[in-house]
Every structure is written in C-alpha cells, then in structure tokens.
Amino acid sequence: MTKNKRLVYIALLAAQAVVISLLERAIPFPFAFAPGAKLGLANIITCISLYTLSTKDAFMIVCIRLVLATLLGGTISTFMYSAAGAILSFGGMWLVKKLGPKRVSIIGVSTTGGILHNVGQLVIASWIAGSWSVMLYLPVLSFIGILSGIAVGIAANYLIKNVQTLRAFNKTKEPIQN
C-alpha cells in the first residue's frame, strides 16, 4: 500500500468513526435499565483498523475520533470518560488480538474492548467522585459491554469478510474467523 493510499484509508476510517460517534450520541438511552450505557458502534471502526492497519495507525484513528468527536459536540468531561475508555479498550483489544486468530476471534477482541471501555470510564468516574463505590455499577455495564462487544465484533467480522476494499487492506493477513 502506498503512503497516499494509507493516509486516505486512515482518513476515511477516522471520518467514519467520528460520524458513527456523533450519530450514537444522538440516541438517547438505548439501554433504559442502565443509564449512560451506549452501544459502542464506533468500535466497529476500531476493530477494522486493528485488523487492517498497523497498531500505530489504528491507535491514531482512535485518537482522531476522540478529539474530533469532542470538538464537534463534547465537553472536557465527555473527553475524559471517552479517552479513558478508548485507550484502555484499545490496549486490551490489541493484547487479546496478539493471541492470534486460532485462540481468539474478532468477536472476542471486540468483547474485550466493550468490557474494558466500561472499566476505563468507571475508573474516571470513581476518581471524579472520590469513591470506588462507583465500581458497583461494573457488573451491569460489563453485561452490556459483552452484548455490545459481540454485536460490534459480528458487524466488524462481516464487513472485513464481505467488503472487497477492506479485504484488500488486510495488513495482518490473518484469516478472520467466523
């Protein structure tokens, strides 16, 4: 892949992630029993970038999404929550992906990200509240993170397997399992 193609591909993925983030922010409460829980649809792009780009480029997409989504409609507090969740989630997804496709599928990688995103956000909430009792909300958010992670993983897996352009950019050359 030429440098220009890579930059265009990164820009397109980052733009898609920002648009998905903004659209998701417009959904009031997808989970009525868990206030503040979101679907995490922008992680579809994170999964795709982890499987089609280098780690550095994939992390750059996450950072671009964080900054642009905050500038286009967020606050400092939403940035703090999003950044903590996204960075912890990305790190966990990267580590789990390193286990290889024979041990963990993209769905498992995505589920790891869904859970760790919630952990990161609750750590920031605990720090702001000055109490670790906020972590009592973790089981509820973990359940939602698992469900969302599975859905996001299925979507990312489908896109990587069926969108010809994404298959052409599959840098890892690892087979994506069902």
Question: Tens digit of pLDDT for each residue in 49-94?
Answer: 999 999 999 999 999 999 999 999 888 988 999 999 999 999 999 9
The reported pLDDT for the residue numbered 32 is 62
For residue 157 the two structure tokens come to: 């897996």
- Read off the CATH number of the domain in which 68 is found: 1.10.1760.20
Count up the domains in the chain and report the number: 1
Q: What does the pLDDT look like over 121-147, one tens digit per residue? A: 999 999 999 999 989 989 999 999 999
Confidence of residue 38 (pLDDT cuts 50, 70, 90): confident
Of residues 175 and 62, more confidence is placed in 62
Angstrom distance (rounded) from CA 28 to CA 153: 23
Angstrom distance (rounded) from CA 150 to CA 87: 19
Q: Which domain holds residue 142?
A: 3-174
Angstrom distance (rounded) from CA 131 to CA 111: 27
Residue 172 reports pLDDT greater than 70: no
- Phi-psi group of 37: left, alpha or beta (phi > 0 → left; psi -120 to 50 → alpha; rest → beta): beta
Contact 141, 104 (CB under 8 A): no
- Give me the amino acid identity at 151: A
Q: What is the mean pLDDT of residues 114-124?
A: 94
171 Cβ neighbours under 8 A, 6+ residues apart: 1, 52, 53, 54
Confidence of residue 178 (pLDDT cuts 50, 70, 90): very low
Residue 33 reports pLDDT greater than 90: no
What is this structure's pTM?
Answer: 0.87
Sequence-ordered alpha helix ranges (H) in 27-54: 43-52
145 Cβ neighbours under 8 A, 6+ residues apart: 40, 111, 114, 115, 116, 117, 118
The answer to which of 36-40, 46-50, 104-108, 152-156 has the lowest mean pLDDT is: 36-40
